[in-house]
């Protein structure tokens, strides 16, 4: 392998490693960790393109769509209709008040591939193909 091809291969591996958490399905959790509050019988399922959401009661009562770098997050609206502030500790998690969507009785769906890591993987793959020609 030529030196330039080795670097292309390393870039490809780096991009794939950065995307690994998104490519591997999450480990199954206990039911009480995923959904401690059962939805009412007349409730509707949340849209499939969300990253995380608050509890069913808060979602059905009052929710507002807010955009993050990872996609749409359904955020609880406080004060009977007034939007609550959204603070992001990390890109992966939305924080609603003091509640982390990944741990406190909310669902979390599989996130889309991170754009930066995906670009690194694509650049590495193209460079590896060009280097082997």
- Predicted confidence band of residue 10 (pLDDT cuts 50, 70, 90): confident
- Predicted confidence band of residue 63 (pLDDT cuts 50, 70, 90): very low
Place of tokens 């990944």: 102
Token pair in block for residue 16: 């794939």
pLDDT of residue 22: 53
Question: What is the average per-residue pLDDT within 3-23?
Answer: 64
The CA distance from 93 to 116, in Å, is 18
User: pTM score, two decimals?
Assistant: 0.21
> Residue 117 in contact with residue 69, Cβ under 8 Å?
no
75 burial type by CB count under 10 A (0-12 exposed, 13-18 middle, 19+ buried)? buried
> Residue 52 in contact with residue 109, Cβ under 8 Å?
yes
Question: What is the average per-residue pLDDT within 116-120?
Answer: 56
């Amino acid at each position: 392998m030529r030196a330039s091809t080795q670097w292309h291969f390393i870039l490809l591996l780096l991009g794939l490693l950065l995307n690994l958490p998104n490519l591997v399905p999450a480990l199954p959790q206990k039911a009480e960790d995923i959904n401690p509050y059962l939805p009412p019988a007349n409730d509707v399922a949340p849209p499939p393109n969300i990253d995380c959401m608050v509890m069913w009661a808060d979602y059905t009562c009052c929710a507002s769509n807010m955009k993050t770098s990872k996609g749409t997050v359904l955020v609880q609206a406080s004060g009977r209709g007034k939007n609550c502030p959204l603070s992001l500790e990390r890109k992966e998690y939305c924080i609603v008040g003091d509640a982390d969507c990944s741990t406190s009785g909310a669902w979390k769906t599989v996130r889309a591939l991170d754009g930066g890591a995906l670009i690194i993987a694509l650049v590495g793959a193209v460079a590896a193909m060009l280097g082997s020609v």
